[in-house]
């Protein structure tokens, strides 16, 4: 069952993130405080999927009033290939449409073969007409990858 993510889900979602091989976690943004700040700004657009009484999928989804972005889209390896990712994406897209958001983007690591196949199968377009840039404002916000 897909539902809106709340801060009360944090411990289970964090455990899910930590269970996925190759998953990148940011030391500040993905802390309880960072996720709580994100969810306060975007209270209705993030999702979790609950199966057998536990969270098995999650999407952080937020927008700036113009464009939305998905972060940390994941499904527990045990529950993959059951349509959970698709249901969560559809849930978040529906919530974004309710808020009159017309576009959503995401970043997928090149090495994330499973994730990239998922987005291609879902009909998402990989942009080749632009470059992605970022500028680090807080060097303490490190990305750590699960092995």
Tell me the per-residue pLDDT of 91-139, one tens digit each, with 9 for 90 and over. Answer: 999 999 999 999 999 998 888 889 999 999 999 999 899 888 888 888 8
Query: What are the structural domains of the chain?
Result: 2-145 (3.40.630.30)
Contact between 108 and 57 under an 8 Å Cβ cutoff? The reply is no
Mean pLDDT, residues 50-71: 97
Distance CA 108, CA 73 (A): 9
pLDDT > 90? residue 36: yes
User: Whole-model pTM?
Assistant: 0.91
pLDDT > 80? residue 46: yes
Strand order of the β-sheet with 68-75 is 2-4, 47-51, 54-63, 68-75, 104-106
pLDDT of the residue at 144: 73
Contact between 84 and 51 under an 8 Å Cβ cutoff? The reply is yes
pLDDT of the residue at 4: 98
Mean pLDDT, residues 37-51: 97
SS3 per residue for the chain? CEEECCHHHHHHHHHHHHHCCCCEEECCCCCHHHHHHHHHHCCCCCEEEEECCEEEEEEEEEECCCCEEEEEEEECHHHCCCCHHHHHHHHHHHHHHHCCCCCEEECCCCCCHHHHHHHHHCCCCCCCCCCCCCCCCCCCCCEEECC
pLDDT digits (tens, 9 = 90+) for 64-100: 999 999 999 999 999 999 999 999 999 999 999 999 9
pLDDT > 80? residue 58: yes
Mean pLDDT, residues 12-24: 92
């Amino acid at each position: 069952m897909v539902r809106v993510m709340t801060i009360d889900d944090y411990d289970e979602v964090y455990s899910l993130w930590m269970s996925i091989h190759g998953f990148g976690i940011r030391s500040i943004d993905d802390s309880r405080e960072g996720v709580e700040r994100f969810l306060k700004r975007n209270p209705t657009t993030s999702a979790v999927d609950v199966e057998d009484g536990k969270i098995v999928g999650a999407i952080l989804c937020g927008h700036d009033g113009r464009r939305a972005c998905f972060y940390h889209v994941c499904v527990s390896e045990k529950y993959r290939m059951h349509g959970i990712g698709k249901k969560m994406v559809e849930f978040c897209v529906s919530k974004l449409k309710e808020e009159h958001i017309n576009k959503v983007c995401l970043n997928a690591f090149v090495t994330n073969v499973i994730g990239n196949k998922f987005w291609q199968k879902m009909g998402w377009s990989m942009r080749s007409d632009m470059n992605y840039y970022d500028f680090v404002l807080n060097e303490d916000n490190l990305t750590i990858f699960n092995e």
